[in-house]
Amino acid sequence: MKTKRFVLLLAFSISLSNISISQERFQANWESLNDYKTPDWFRDAKFGIFIHWGVYSVPAFNSEWYPRNMYDQKSPEYKHHIEKYGPLNKFGYKDFIPMFKAEKFSAQKWVDLFKRAGAQYVVPVAEHHDGFAMYKTTLSKWNAAEMGPKIDVVGELAKETKKQGLIFGLSSHRIEHWWFLNQGRKFDSDVLDPKYADFYGPAREENETMSPEFMNDWLLRCTELVEKYQPQLFWFDWWIEQPALEPYRKSFSSYYYNKGLEWNKGVVINYKNISFQEKTAVLDIERGKLGGIRELPWQTDDAVGNESWCYTTNNTFKSAQYVITNLIDIVSINGNLLLNIGPRSDGTITDEDTAVLLGTGEWLQVNGEAIYGTRPWKLFGEGPTVSASGSFVTQEKPFTARDIRFTTKGATLYAIALGVPEANTVIKSLALKANNGKITSIKVVGSSEVVNWAQNPGELVIKPLKNYPSANAVVYKIEF
């Protein structure tokens, strides 16, 4: 294993030295990385699918943090584990791996569903905090290709996603593994067994500075994923913002952006909080939104499940109406939505996830021209409902038909009512006195019915149609 690591690190060093010859290439410093531009494919795509699937889907209890919390003697997960599986020195997290069989997994069926949902990119979790890789890696035997399902899940999804014409991405949560299993060191558990140190370790404290060996391993795993699967999006969770990791973040970023140049494909790094300087990658906000238009593209990651990102037996779920109206809201302020699902351990997708995906896809099939390839207008919208903003904040108060969001494509303005109007739609931002243009025509996307409207000094008034082409939200196509 040490020989493999040395060869990979040497190859990575040679790769960096070769690409640094050209000044057109990215260098491993913030000044150079500030030249990064978000590719058009990401700005046009608007909607992607996130997938949390792994060994934690076997216990399916509370959340994907089960592997950490099962070793916390004060947690509900610990109590549940002792009652159902026995003492943790006899049955630990590793013992779920043979139970993770994925016997009904089909990359083709998954990607077909994502495509029907209207998603433009697919982002499976390649490795979560638990340290179990969902791909064939040379750096650890603890991976889905050699254990459990014995399937290179990431590889199969990469192949099928590209085959069906969608963009492939992936996420790495590897850095959190530094501390994720540390509760198991506090009592007699299998985390203390040296036979499993290569899986459970390092299991250190969060306030301990990561070792160079661990950070090098992180870098090698990231570059291996890029080399093997050529993802066009690489998503990182919050803990990569640790100061000690900054040189490694910059090295990976320059390497990855230069790979994008080599492939002649635009690539995206998603980050949270302050892990990257603002222009050097694409900001991601977990289960939250911004309060207004951001000049730089950004992304929300949210889940159909309310309680957990992975499959659990006690989860509750959002509706298609929630997803559709929040997607519109996010797009109006220059964002993308990365929507997560949590498959069962056997590889099947829940009826709840499926219903939301298909409902979203039905709306986008009719109204997608107001979403895909659009850009924000001078105003994001108007209406009585305040959009939730900030991380871990959900849109608790539902939008209504009185809430309007704007998107543009060329000279066309789309005004989208976040509900189906039963009365007149009134838009103050398009009043004559607002000086935002004199309207020449209004149509409802997906309908041939004539729209009756009047642009008055104080407001634009659009009368309701007899029949609307889709539920949940209505798109007005406006020309000037």
Last residue of a domain, one of 370, 394, 415: 370
Sign, Cα dihedral of 273, 25, 228, 47: positive
What is residue 168's predicted lDDT score, i.e. its pLDDT? Answer: 99
Based on the fold, state whether residues 88 and 120 are members of the same structural domain. Answer: yes
Based on the fold, state whether residues 157 and 303 are members of the same structural domain. Answer: yes
Based on the fold, state whether residues 218 and 296 are members of the same structural domain. Answer: yes
In a domain, residue 461? The reply is: yes
The distance from CA 103 to its chain's CA centroid, rounded to whole angstroms, is 25
Range of the domain at 310: 2-370
The edge-to-edge listing of strands for the beta sheet with 460-462 is: 425-427, 460-462, 453-455
CATH code at position 314:
3.20.20.80
Last residue of a domain, one of 370, 392, 414: 370
Q: How far apart are CA 225 and CA 230, in angstroms?
A: 7
In a domain, residue 198? The reply is: yes
Quick one: which of 127, 96, 93 has its CA closest to 217? 127
Side chain identity at residue 313, one-letter code: T
Based on the fold, state whether residues 346 and 475 are members of the same structural domain. Answer: no
Quick one: which of 133, 269, 93, 129 has its CA closest to 206? 129
What is residue 393's predicted lDDT score, i.e. its pLDDT? Answer: 81
CATH code at position 408:
2.60.40.1180
What is residue 263's predicted lDDT score, i.e. its pLDDT? Answer: 98
Q: What is the pLDDT of residues 165-189, one digit of tens each?
A: 999 999 999 999 999 999 999 999 9
Name the domain count of the chain: 2
- In the numeric block, the tokens 């192949």 are attached to 159
Based on the fold, state whether residues 13 and 127 are members of the same structural domain. Answer: yes
Based on the fold, state whether residues 329 and 403 are members of the same structural domain. Answer: no
Return the biggest CA–CA distance within the chain: 77
Question: What is the rounded end-to-end Cα distance, in angstroms, of the chain?
Answer: 65
Based on the fold, state whether residues 273 and 395 are members of the same structural domain. Answer: no
Q: How far apart are CA 105 and CA 345, in angstroms?
A: 9
Based on the fold, state whether residues 284 and 343 are members of the same structural domain. Answer: yes
Structure tokens at 52: 């949390």
Residues in the chain predicted with pLDDT less than 50, given as ranges, are: 1-4, 6-7, 10-11, 13-23
Q: How far apart are CA 125 and CA 110, in angstroms?
A: 14
- In the numeric block, the tokens 């060329």 are attached to 410
Q: Please state the pTM of the whole predicted model.
A: 0.95
What is residue 12's predicted lDDT score, i.e. its pLDDT? Answer: 53
In a domain, residue 108? The reply is: yes
In a domain, residue 376? The reply is: no
Based on the fold, state whether residues 352 and 321 are members of the same structural domain. Answer: yes
Whether the CB-CB separation of 89 and 181 falls below 8 Å is answered with no
Whether the CB-CB separation of 259 and 267 falls below 8 Å is answered with yes
In a domain, residue 375? The reply is: no
What is residue 395's predicted lDDT score, i.e. its pLDDT? Answer: 81
Structure tokens at 33: 């990385």
Based on the fold, state whether residues 335 and 435 are members of the same structural domain. Answer: no
What is residue 17's predicted lDDT score, i.e. its pLDDT? Answer: 41
In a domain, residue 149? The reply is: yes
Spell out the residues 6+ positions from residue 461 whose beta carbon is closer than 8 angstroms to its own.
424, 425, 426, 453, 454
Q: How far apart are CA 327 and CA 46, in angstroms?
A: 8
Q: How far apart are CA 315 and CA 149, in angstroms?
A: 24
In a domain, residue 306? The reply is: yes
CA distances 472 to 31, 87, 327, 367, 419, Å, are: 45, 49, 12, 11, 5
Q: How far apart are CA 87 and CA 467, in angstroms?
A: 61
In a domain, residue 271? The reply is: yes
Based on the fold, state whether residues 324 and 407 are members of the same structural domain. Answer: no
Determine how β-strand 268-271 pairs with β-strand 282-286.
Answer: parallel
What is residue 195's predicted lDDT score, i.e. its pLDDT? Answer: 97
3-state secondary structure the chain: CHHHHHHHHHHHHHHHHHHCCCCCCCCCCHHHHCCCCCCHHHHHHCEEEEECCCHHHCCCCCCCCHHHHCCCCCCHHHHHHHHHHCCCCCCCHHHHHHHCCCCCCCHHHHHHHHHHCCCCEEEEEEECCCCCECCCCCCCCCECCCCCCCCCHHHHHHHHHHHCCCEEEEEECHHHHHCCCHHHHCCCCHHHCHHHHHHHCCCCCCCCCCCHHHHHHHHHHHHHHHHHHCCCEEEECHHHHCHHHHHHHHHHHHHHHHHHHHHCCCCEEEECCCCCCHHHCEEEEECCECCCCCCCCEEEEEECECCCCCCCCCCCECCHHHHHHHHHHHHHCCEEEEEEECCCCCCCCCHHHHHHHHHHHHHHHHHHHHCCCCECCCCCEECCCCCCCECCCCCCCCCCCCCEEEEEECCEEEEEECCCCCCCEEEHHHCHHHCCCCCCEEEECCCCCCCCEEECCCCEEECCCCCCCCCCCEEEEEEC
What is residue 259's predicted lDDT score, i.e. its pLDDT? Answer: 98
Last residue of a domain, one of 345, 370, 395: 370
Whether the CB-CB separation of 170 and 225 falls below 8 Å is answered with yes
What is residue 39's predicted lDDT score, i.e. its pLDDT? Answer: 98
Based on the fold, state whether residues 335 and 402 are members of the same structural domain. Answer: no
Cα atoms found within 13 Å of the Cα of residue 316, Cβ hemisphere only:
2
